[in-house]
Amino acid sequence: MQIAATRAPADAASRTARRTAGPDHPGVERIALDATDGGALARLAEGAATVVNTAAPAYTTWPEALPPLFDAMLAAAERSGADYVMLGNLYGYGPVDGTLTEDRPLAAPGPKGRVRAEMWLRAKEAHDAGRVRAAEVRAGQSLGGGAYSVFSLMVLPKVLAGRLALVPAALDVPHAYTAIGDAARALVAVARSADGWGRAWHAPMITASVREVAGRLAALAGAPEPRLETMTDRELTLLGLGDPFWDELWETGHMSHRPYVVDASALAARFGVEASPLDGVLKEMLG
């Protein structure tokens, strides 16, 4: 048995909504609880083979919200005797030159990157001390059906409507994308392995520019040729005055405005999990 943990919202209406959220599948039991409650999580994890942490609080709250959330999940795995697999991202590395591999140091200068790195280092410390078997799978920007990302929110609807998409990214440099189905397959592969522990793995990556992905999306949907423009610094600054989300994007400008290529060959060589074809992933997004 495996348990995947997410954080339930605090208000009553959101708790009610959470009870009905998630996949409707005979192999899935949906349970609403506060994932910062380590004791409740530990009781829930009793008998589980693996605690899979795919939780993500609001983007603007990571430095404050991630530590208690992730610490509770790590503690639950330790207390229950389950293994612990984290779904992470690439923020912890900070700016890099050249192709990114898992042996690069976690040297992020910004708060979101630092907290992401710290959450893995705490899990790695617990692993090295023999308290739990831990691993992390680090994914790129999400694509696929149900994906929540800059592309899915800011590019996809505009392309399908034949309207101009303003994007907080360079349009013609390679980016690292991960299909959410591929991320799930990577998590399962690591969780079921005997020797995938104590280290981080890069999830399968689709390397393409924003313009390339948008172009394939339009072609598959029968939509007009995409109209795309990179948001200016002034536009991003003005948007930040009304919504703190936009100010968060400055920290990851090295990932969105410069070539960002990620090597996922270690995962492919060890587990045979490779990136799905882009067209198939985009078809999922089109429903």
Structure confidence by residue, pLDDT tens digits, 42-63: 999 999 999 999 999 999 999 9
Question: Is a pLDDT exceeding 50 seen at residue 111?
Answer: yes
Confidence band of 21 (pLDDT split at 50, 70, 90): low
Distance (Å, rounded) from C-alpha 67 to C-alpha 76? 14
Q: Which of 71, 70, 63 is nearest to 91 (CA)?
A: 63
Q: For residue 161, how many other CB atoms are within 10 A of its CB?
A: 11
The per-residue pLDDT for range 162-177, each reduced to its tens digit, is 999 999 999 999 999 9
Give the residue with greater pLDDT, 80 vs 9: 80
Tokens linked to 77: 């795995």
Predicted pLDDT at 59: 94
Distance (Å, rounded) from C-alpha 233 to C-alpha 161? 25
Contacts 24+ apart (CB under 8 A), 180-184: 180/142, 180/143, 180/144, 180/145, 180/146, 180/147, 181/144, 181/276, 181/281, 181/284, 182/273, 182/274, 182/275, 182/276, 183/87, 183/137, 183/139, 183/142
Cα dihedral 48, 50, 54, 55, rounded to 10, equals 50
Please compute Rg for the chain using Cα positions. 19
Confidence band of 184 (pLDDT split at 50, 70, 90): very high
Predicted pLDDT at 11: 40
Confidence band of 27 (pLDDT split at 50, 70, 90): confident
Q: Which of 1, 88, 75 is nearest to 41 (CA)?
A: 75
Distance (Å, rounded) from C-alpha 159 to C-alpha 46? 46
Beta strands across the sheet bearing 175-179: 141-143, 175-179, 206-208
Give the residue with greater pLDDT, 20 vs 257: 257
232: DSSP letter: P
Tokens linked to 75: 């503690």
- How big is the CA angle at 150 (ends 68 and 226), to the nearest 5 degrees? 175
Confidence band of 28 (pLDDT split at 50, 70, 90): confident
Residues in a beta bridge with 262: 100
DSSP 3-state helix, strand, coil percentages of the chain (rounded to 5)? 45, 15, 40
Whether the Cβ atoms of residue 198 and residue 125 lie closer than 8 Å to each other: no
Q: Is 0.85 surpassed by the pTM of this model?
A: yes
Whether the Cβ atoms of residue 41 and residue 5 lie closer than 8 Å to each other: yes
In the chain, what are the domains? 2-140+178-203 (3.40.50.720), 142-175+207-262+272-286 (no CATH)
Predicted pLDDT at 250: 97
